[in-house]
Amino acid sequence: MTGSFMRTKAVLLALLMATVSLSGCFGEEEIIPEPVPVVEEDPRIFVTDKTGASLDMTPINMTFQFSDVGETGKEPSIGITSSGCIFFIAMEKVMRSCDGGQSWEETQDPVACSPTTSDPYGWVDPITDRVFGVQMIGLETSWICWSDDDGQTWMGNPHDSGTTPLNDHIKLASGPWTDSGYGALGQFTSGFYETAVYYCYNKLAGIFCFTSFDGGATFATGGQIIGLATTNGGLHGAISTAPDGTVYVTPRVATPTVIVSKDNGFSWFERTMGSDAGTPNPRKNSEVSTDTDSNAYHVWTGADEGVYMSRSTDSGETWEQESIRISPAGVISTVFPQTDAGDPGRIAITYLGSENTEMLNQSDIDGNPWNGNAHYAPNNATYHLYITFSLNALDENPTFHTYRVTDDPVQVGSICLNSGDCRDIGGSNRNLLDFNDLHIDRQGRVYVAFADGCTDGCADNPNATAADSRDGRGAVYYLASGPSLYVADGELEPLY
């Protein structure tokens, strides 16, 4: 990615080289001119309170490392095994880097992992290191493959979701067994895998979730779950699990909602929150993260296009009804919020956002006053990748430290949030599809996977237009230096 920091370094280097090359050429006393300082653009660091207002406080000192995966990265998933290998799964490929993102290679088995999809998903079990790659085949069947040796070898099986379409929005996750429901069954049954593996997808009837007893090879139990979305055909976000075995699924609805299971998917209940913040229309997925004490943090894009959060300290039974704003007030448009957590109160959130406040109420792509909704953003609006940390997210007044990590935009122009209503402005603006991803490794280091829509000539052009921003290249940012989300790991140093 080309940015002002890299350009600054290049200018300084050129000045130094020119100075050295001229020394001694004219037989006179050498005069070395002072290098002309080039001021780096505002790196866009924010410290904000629970309303998004700025605080007069020193930000957490953090640096982030960029890695170009080199393949299409639309709808990426990311996970890190205990060996340090990073897995980036998007479209038809499982990509792996075991050197901190310095190089990437395709690693899936073409037989065990059927590469025929437009809706992929990936997951790394944080307990067992099993790596999953999930692919959609048609409207009724999906293919799940897995590896237990960092992607060296793979096994796989199809999962038949039945004859009622649509098998879509496929999601997979794993978590601890509980002592009730399916978990209780495991106490009297041999051969259970170390963790429960969950697989959810939507059909026209709503959300369907299944539990696997054998590590994701088969899903014999489950079905339609309670708390179904009444709009968007039951579309939903990622599955999240807590150390105490609680499972969360987030439907895409007007009032922020979570569907919760405390018995490994045997039964489910629904909880709502965030009626003060709401959600926009069209809307995208929300997500839940959980910390080491099983406190839960639900994040979503609110109706005013900011990123909001509600917290639960009783494993999803009750949730705060007063929403907390995570994104700075100056970020007036956001999409694709993703989150993960470490120790209590230590969370990270990523999202795409725009600071084009000057465009508010100007004409959007439909000729109406723009209110910040990314789906209707003007053709010259710019979206960047933001990463937010909070080390006291459970406090009454939490503090949020936000870095805009991209210098050039991730997208110029609007971002399609409804696949049936996309704009063809020099190519469809659905180039980023539906989500990005964020996960932490065993040391509490944050990794973000995203699809970059503005690359090459678009990235280098300050006057790039929406038509220039139609890529979806896979990319990663990870925390190079800064605080681990696990207290015991302290301050992290660069991997390389």
User: Would you kindly state where each structural domain of the chain is located, as residue ranges?
Assistant: 1-41, 44-492
Whether pLDDT at 450 is above 90: yes
> What average pLDDT does range 198-207 have in this prediction?
85
The number of C-alpha atoms within 13 Å of 24 and in the hemisphere containing its C-beta is 2
Per-residue pLDDT at 162:
59
Whether pLDDT at 19 is above 60: no
CA torsion sign for 297, 444, 452, 44 is positive
Per-residue pLDDT at 472:
96
> What average pLDDT does range 86-99 have in this prediction?
94
Per-residue pLDDT at 210:
93
What's the CATH superfamily of 44-492? TolB, C-terminal domain (2.120.10.30)
Per-residue pLDDT at 437:
98
Phi-psi region of 432 (alpha: psi -120 to 50; beta: other; left: phi over 0): alpha
pLDDT band per the 50, 70, 90 thresholds, residue 6: very low
Whether pLDDT at 447 is above 90: yes
* DSSP type of residue 189: -
> How far is the first Cα of the chain from the last one, in angstroms, to the nearest whole number?
19
Q: Which helix (H) or strand (E) holds 14?
A: helix 4-22
Per-residue pLDDT at 116:
65
Per-residue pLDDT at 45:
97
> What average pLDDT does range 475-487 have in this prediction?
98
In three-state secondary structure terms, 345 is coil
Q: Output 108-112 pairs: Cβ under 8 A, ≥24 positions apart.
A: 108/133, 108/145, 108/151, 108/154, 109/145, 109/153, 109/154, 109/156, 111/156, 112/145, 112/154, 112/155, 112/156
Per-residue pLDDT at 227:
58
Summary mean pLDDT of the chain: 88
Among the ranges given (217-231, 270-284, 286-300), the one the predictor scored with the smallest mean pLDDT: 217-231
Per-residue pLDDT at 25:
33
Torsion angles phi and psi, residue 7, rounded to 5: -65, -40
- Structure confidence by residue, pLDDT tens digits, 369-423: 999 999 999 999 999 999 999 999 999 999 999 999 999 999 999 999 987 789 8
More confident residue, 3 or 54: 54
Whether pLDDT at 33 is above 50: no
Residues 6+ apart with CB under 8 A from 362: 369, 370, 378
List 132's β-bridge partners, or say none.
123, 146
> What average pLDDT does range 126-151 have in this prediction?
89
Tokens of 73: 């990265």
In three-state secondary structure terms, 366 is coil
Q: What percent of the chain has pLDDT over 70?
A: 85
pLDDT band per the 50, 70, 90 thresholds, residue 177: very high
Per-residue pLDDT at 167:
65
CB atoms within 10 A of CB 253: 20
Per-residue pLDDT at 348:
98
Whether pLDDT at 85 is above 70: yes
SS3 annotation, 430-480: CCCCCCCEEEECCCCCEEEEEEECCCCHHHHCCCCCHHHCCCCEEEEEEEE
Torsion angles phi and psi, residue 488, rounded to 5: -65, -20
Distance CA 47, CA 391 (A): 12
Q: Closest Cα to residue 192, out of 171, 164, 211?
A: 211
